[in-house]
Every structure is written in structure tokens, then in C-alpha cells.
């Protein structure tokens, strides 16, 4: 009997424990290296610089008590952060050979992928939480009788989370394609960039200006992120992000099973 067939006889609690161990391993692996701390620090420092210091993007120069500038900049900073978080998800496993050890455990490829993906989501949330300080700061800087547009802020944070979660799924897939972390980072960076704004830029070409430009831009993530950021969470946008996440997790499963079968043979 193959090792993974044992999973059929394991109670759900044991499967949960195995996934939890993968989740904890990923978190510890990220923070066991200086790269993890540097990635988070660079993200938070860059957010602060763009939001308060750099004149072209500064809220102070903008003159309005709004976080619109932050939500315009954040996707581009996440384009760098998320690939840095996911680049070692599977690349490090392939490089050290621990993927073969994982394949002998009573856990499926989906369990491994979901465990690593949930760890990625936790790290993304951990990076976004300190930015809530900006909401408190802007609320105190605004006029007492005006206040903040809380609906738009909540919608923008929801959109930012879905966007980052989708970047995470793309990044994990790209990490499963190589055993080199740097190559995984660069592939994920390019893929996330193309999926975020590539279709939006393509729709602006003159040849696509006769009605197809709208539908072309709908394929990209930027269209749906901007839609949610308006403060109205449309189920179509949520379904879009969830569909892309499931699609890339499925691709990761196919890539992982192909590589592990090749390693066994």
C-alpha cells in the first residue's frame, strides 16, 4: 500500500494536526531567516514613506483626510512583499529534499498546499495589521464634523486582503516550479504584475477601444480590486478572486504531483 493511501483511514483530527504542523513550520521558517524580518520591515517602512514623506503621494500634501493614497500604493508594495513571503514555500523543500520526506507522510498534496497557503495568509494579515494605525491617525487629523468614510476604508481593506490572498496563491504556484528561491520570487513578481495590471494596460490599446476593452480589463485583478475599494463588496468580485485562488492552488497541486512523481521515478 502506498504511504498516502493511509490518509483514508486517519480521523479528521489527525489530518488537522498534520496541517497545523505544516502551518507552524512555514511560520517558523519565515521568521527563522533575516529575509522574513527584512521583507516585513521594508513593506511597513515603504508604506510610511509613501504615505507621509514623499510629496507626490503624501496624505499631508493631498490635503484630505482620506486613505485613498494608501490603497493606491499598497497593491504595488504587496507585489513585492507577497512573492518574498512565498518564494521559499516549495523551492526550499525541493532544494533541501524535505519534499520527499513530506510525501511519505499520511498527508495529501492538497493538505500540504493548504497548510502553506494558510501560513501565507497569516503572514499577510500580520503585515497589514500595523497599517490600521493609519486609520486612527487620519481619523484624529480629520475635522470633527467630517470624519472618515468608514465604508470605503473597510471595503478597501477587504479588497486588499483578497488581492494579497490571490497574490499568495500565485506565489505558491510559482514556488512549486523551481528549487531556486530567487527564481521563484522573480516568476511570482512577473506573474502577479501581469495579472494585476497587465490586462488593464492591454485594454487601453487603441485596437481594443471598441467595447472589448471593458471585458478585457475585467480579466485583471486591478478592475475587481478597484471595484471593492469603492466600499461596495460585489459578490462577482469575491467570486473572481476566489476562482483565481482555487485555479492557482489546483495548478500547484498538479505541479507538485508532477515533481514528486518525477523524483520517485
How confident is the model at residue 147, as a pLDDT? Answer: 63
Task: Find all residues with CB under 8 Å of 65, minimum gap 6, and list them.
Answer: 59, 138, 139, 141, 142, 143, 146, 148
Distances (CA, A) of 158 to 68, 115, 130, 162, 244: 14, 22, 15, 6, 16
> What does 120-132 look like in DSSP terms, one character per residue?
HHHHHHHHHGGGH
Q: Which among 189, 187, 218 has a CA at the least distance from the CA of 203? A: 218
> What does 222-248 look like in DSSP terms, one character per residue?
HHHHHHHHTT---HHHHHHHHHHHHHH
Structural contact between residues 69 and 50, judged by C-beta atoms closer than 8 angstroms: yes
Q: What residue spans of 49-67 are helical by DSSP H?
A: 59-62
Q: Which among 262, 176, 179, 260 has a CA at the least distance from the CA of 4? A: 260
Structural contact between residues 169 and 249, judged by C-beta atoms closer than 8 angstroms: yes
Q: How far is residue 174's CA from residue 160's CA, in Å, rounded to a whole number? A: 21
How confident is the model at residue 70, as a pLDDT? Answer: 86
Give, for all 265 residues of the chain, the pLDDT tens digit: 344 444 444 445 566 777 778 888 888 888 887 878 888 898 989 888 888 887 777 777 666 667 888 888 899 999 999 999 998 888 888 887 777 776 666 677 888 888 899 999 999 999 999 998 888 888 777 666 666 677 788 888 999 999 999 999 999 999 999 889 999 999 999 999 999 998 888 877 777 666 677 778 888 999 999 888 887 788 999 999 999 999 999 999 998 888 666 554 4
Structural contact between residues 147 and 135, judged by C-beta atoms closer than 8 angstroms: no
Distances (CA, A) of 81 to 59, 62, 71, 110, 117: 22, 26, 15, 24, 15
| 75 three-state secondary structure | helix
Residue identified by cell 490603497 is: 71
Q: What residue spans of the chain are helical by DSSP H?
A: 12-31, 34-48, 59-62, 68-86, 91-96, 98-103, 109-128, 132-141, 150-175, 181-193, 199-203, 212-219, 221-229, 235-264
Dihedral, CA atoms, 126, 128, 132, 134, nearest 10 degrees? 130
Amino acid at each position: 500500500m502506498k504511504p498516502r493511501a493511509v490518509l483514508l483511514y486517519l480521523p479528521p483530527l489527525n489530518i488537522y494536526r498534520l496541517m497545523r504542523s505544516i502551518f507552524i513550520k512555514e511560520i517558523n521558517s519565515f521568521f527563522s531567516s533575516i529575509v522574513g524580518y527584512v521583507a516585513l520591515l521594508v513593506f511597513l517602512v515603504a508604506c510610511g514613506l509613501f504615505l507621509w514623506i514623499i510629496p507626490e503621494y503624501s496624505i499631508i500634501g493631498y490635503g484630505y483626510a482620506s486613505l485613498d493614497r494608501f490603497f493606491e500604493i499598497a497593491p504595488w508594495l504587496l507585489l513585492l512583499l507577497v512573492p518574498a513571503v512565498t518564494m521559499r514555500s516549495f523551492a526550499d523543500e525541493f532544494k533541501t529534499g524535505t519534499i520527499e520526506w513530506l510525501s511519505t507522510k499520511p498527508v495529501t498534496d492538497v493538505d500540504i498546499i493548504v497548510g502553506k497557503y494558510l501560513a501565507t495568509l497569516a503572514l499577510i494579515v500580520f503585515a497589514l495589521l500595523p497599517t490600521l494605525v493609519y486609520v486612527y491617525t487620519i481619523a484624529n487629523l480629520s475635522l470633527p464634523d467630517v470624519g472618515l468614510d468608514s465604508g470605503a476604508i473597510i471595503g478597501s481593506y477587504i479588497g486588499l486582503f483578497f488581492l494579497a490572498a490571490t497574490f499568495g496563491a500565485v506565489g505558491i504556484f510559482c514556488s512549486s516550479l523551481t528549487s531556486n528561491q530567487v527564481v521563484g520570487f522573480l516568476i511570482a513578481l512577473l506573474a502577479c504584475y501581469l495579472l494585476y495590471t497587465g490586462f488593464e494596460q492591454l485594454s487601453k490599446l487603441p485596437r481594443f477601444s471598441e467595447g472589448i476593452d471593458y471585458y478585457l480589463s475585467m480579466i485583471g485583478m486591478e478592475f475587481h480590486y478597484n471595484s471593492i475599494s469603492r466600499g461596495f463588496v460585489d459578490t462577482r468580485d469575491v467570486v473572481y478572486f476566489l476562482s483565481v485562488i482555487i485555479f492557482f492552488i489546483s495548478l500547484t497541486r498538479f505541479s507538485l504531483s508532477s515533481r514528486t512523481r518525477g523524483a520517485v521515478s
